[in-house]
Amino acid sequence: MNKQLITIFSIFSITCLGMVSAQESKSFLPEVKKESLTFSSEDNKFKLTFNGRIQADGAVFFGEDYQPIGNGVGFRRVRLGATAAFGKRLSGKIEMDLTDGGFSLKDCFIKYAFPNGLYFRAGNFKESFGMAAMTSSGDLWFMEKANVVSAFAPEYHIGVQGTWEHDQFLGVAGVHFKRIEGNKEKDYSESNNKAGEDEGISVTARAVWQPVSADKVKGFHLGIAASYRTPKTTVGSLMPNTVRYSTRSLSYINKIKFLDTSPIASVSHDWLAGAELAGFYRGFRFQGEYIMNNTVRMEGLATEKFNGFYVQAAYLLFGGQQRYSKSRGAFSQPSFGRSWGDIELAARFDRIDLNGTEVMGGSANGWTFGVNYYATRNLKFQINYSYVDNDKYANAFGQAAVGYKSNGEIAYKPEEVDESLGKGGNAYGILGLRIQLNF
């Protein structure tokens, strides 16, 4: 796999450099722009920029009611990427993740921009659904996104997408297919393909109103998003018409997915819908989203309805300015108020409910408080404290203890919990630290 990775990245880089050499013989010199290494031709008609990101995490868990969680450290993201621009209209990007010694493909697309604010992308990239999902992983307010976003946001899929930016409005629509991650998803997709199963399709759209988008000091954001989705073949091997929703509950170090619907079979399609509200003024910003999911089933089975929301706010203590990306419809890294950087305080409440009609995947409330220290444009430190309160149905598909039986034994099934011996479910605290380097 490492040889394949090196080969792919080398071919991309050599091809881009070769195209420049074929087009012109002018000088081709490296320079540093915005903390990234950029090669550009003398007339700037071609640019090749290399980038990367390292996020190293550590977390300590305490106060678990029934199911212990192991403390640990690890790399949340290890990214390598490159962007090539061929004049003003044509560009392309490739980005890979090497976390935990594996390989997954993130951005890999071709983009063409028209002069009227319209552009198209084809390849592998994030579906435009939700404000938090469209925020770069390097610009996250907290170490992890809210549970409802982690569980439902589609993120990376192969597809074709059109985007239109005009004054105060941003509109995005696309058609998407399967997810490309690592070997597991590849094996699932291939085994289902051999069995004659279609890989699934999604139609996703988002509209955002940005009434004061020209103002750099303050801004307002109002958005809606919707997605029609048929089951993908990357859920499991020989599991047609199946979907699954789960989340690691605000910590990547936690390997127990308490919140898990388990595989839901006989699914016709899903409807995702979301609403977004955000704003900022100087060093202050706020953001909130509500997301609902209706999983429509066949064979007379009831539609499963799940939902959740979050609200969050943050403030820069030393005079920094919050920044908003109009093209993404999401916040980016703020500017700093001091020569040594800036410090930001942040707080969030999130709620997710994966308990439907017959499927009981659990529900949870989460409170997170964070301190972000932006040392430079490249270096960032994050400290988070989260408190998670799961109900008794959040039992990690039967793998996590959620209470006591009437005879005093540990219960793994919610129906076996005797609440006279203690409230069912696990409530616990998380203290997390992240060191992030962008280059």
Compute, in degrees rounded to 10, the torsion defined by CA atoms 280, 281, 282, 285: -30
Q: Residue 408 class from Cβ within 10 Å (0-12 exposed, 13-18 middle, 19+ buried)? A: exposed
CA distance 392 to 361: 10
pTM for this prediction: 0.89
**182: pLDDT strictly greater than 70:** no
Is residue 20 assigned to a domain? Answer: no
Is residue 1 assigned to a domain? Answer: no
Overall domain count for the chain: 1
pLDDT digits (tens, 9 = 90+) for 107-165: 999 999 998 899 999 999 999 999 999 999 999 999 999 999 999 999 899 999 999 99
Is residue 161 assigned to a domain? Answer: yes
Is residue 54 assigned to a domain? Answer: yes
What pLDDT was estimated at residue 183? Answer: 67
Indicate the SS3 state at residue 345.
Answer: strand
By DSSP bridging, strand 304-316 and strand 284-297 are antiparallel
Residue 147, φ and ψ in degrees, nearest 5: -55, -40
Is residue 11 assigned to a domain? Answer: no
CA distance 318 to 111: 38
Q: Mean pLDDT in the chain?
A: 90
User: What is the rounded average pLDDT of the residues 369-395?
Assistant: 97
CATH number reported for the structural domain that contains residue 298 in this entry: 2.40.160.10
pLDDT digits (tens, 9 = 90+) for 339-350: 999 999 999 999
Is residue 15 assigned to a domain? Answer: no
Residue 286's domain comprises: 43-436
Is residue 422 assigned to a domain? Answer: yes
What pLDDT was estimated at residue 22? Answer: 44
Is residue 35 assigned to a domain? Answer: no
What pLDDT was estimated at residue 199? Answer: 85
